Structure 1
Amino acid sequence: MTTTLLLVEIEPLLEEASGLLQYVLVFVFAAIPVVEILVVVPVAIGLGLDPIATGVVAFAGNVGSVYALVAFHQRFSRWWRGRRGGPDTTESAGERYARARSLWDRYGLAGLSVGGPILTGVHIAALVALLAGSPTRAVAGWMTVGIGLWTVVLVTVSVFGFSLLGIV
């Protein structure tokens, strides 16, 4: 039985559902920040759902919720800058800040997007990148790459592991 901090029992819900509803639940669970693909993909594959369909649906749910977070942050930032009415302090910080920003955008965002799904969860990683001032398109793109990579790894490891154990 898989329980998360939200007290959502994934396994019984997926097991009780049937057909298309199982994949809808995989999509929804993958979009929930605490559950994400790290929990839902192995559970769904362990219950006998098609690995390719599970991976595609979980990827779509996780990426969709990250895109929603990016869009919300973009709108909130625009509103906040309009409310403050002054110049952005990060733009006037100087050459040293520009160099640090360039290094973060080149290496930090990529590393965070690949490591984030396993270390902090993709939603927190995306929020950290956005709060660090990374461009929203870059955050969305790199998070998509990270989620895609981890989805492939999770599906592959789950299929191999369950077949090795004789479960699926």
Structure 2
Amino acid sequence: MSVTPLLVDVGTVLEETTGLVRYALVFLFAAIPVIEILVVIPVAVGLGLNPVTTAVVAFAGNVGSVYALIVSYRRLLEWWRGYAGDDEPSDRYARARRLWDRYGLPGVSIAGPVMAGVHVAALVALLAGSRGRLVAGWMTLGIAVWTVLLTVASVAGVSLLGIA
């Protein structure tokens, strides 16, 4: 799946809304795997949404969905095994697993958001036997780092391009 259509769709939806609905959508988009903070923060800042509010709302949406995954992963795993059987792991899972094998929980948590997505990274950490609280803590740190970096880079890019 290409990221370009996601950028267009997220941007279009955010452009067509106003007020607090825009921030509710930022929260929702940040919680959706594949879109997450990597797409929604630059798009929202580029459209002129307040960078600090965007960062806080996107962070909350992304972290909240990861916490929901952590709380319910055992039930999801049982469902998936019954649904999919023993299918080959996806490329995203394989990348996250290689990251895990090399760097462990801290590496997956910091690099996971850009290498495989936070949801896949959290799932890999849980499947590898990490405790949920440790995964939540490290994922929160990783998401926070990337939220700050993406927001700063987006503001700098908008400023450099003179967009908003």
TM range (shorter): 0.7 to 0.9
Q: 1:47 to 1:110 in 2, by over 3 A?
A: same
Residue 34 of structure 1 deviates from its aligned partner by 1.1
Counterparts of 1:8 and 1:125 in 2: how far apart (Å)?
A: 26
Structure 2 gaps of 5+ residues are 80-99
TM-score of the two chains, using structure 2 as the length reference: 0.80
Matched, 1:119 2:115: yes
**TM-score where L is the length of structure 1:** 0.78
Cα deviation, residue 3, structure 1 = 1.8
Q: How does 1:18-167 map to 2 (within 5 A)?
A: 18-74=18-74, 107-167=103-163
Q: If you compute each CA radius of gyration, which structure gives the higher value, 1 or 2?
A: 1
Q: How many residues align?
A: 141
Query: In percent, how many aligned pairs have the same letter?
Result: 64
Give the whole-Å Cα distance in 2 for the aligned partners of 1:54 and 1:38.
Answer: 12
The CA deviation at 1:74 is 4.7
| Offset from partner CA, 1:65-85 (integer Å, 9 cap, x none) | 0000000025567x89xxxxx
Instruction: Give the number of the structure whose residues are more often helix, by fraction.
Output: 2
Q: Counterpart in 2 of 1:11?
A: 11
Runs of 4+ displaced beyond 6 Å: none
Question: For the Cα contact (< 8 Å) 1:2–1:10, is it kept in 2?
Answer: no
- Give the gaps of 5 or more residues in structure 1: 81-103
In structure 2, relative to structure 1, the CA distance for the partners of 1:8 and 1:166 (3 Å cut) is closer
Partners of 1:163 and 1:37 in 2: CA distance: 20
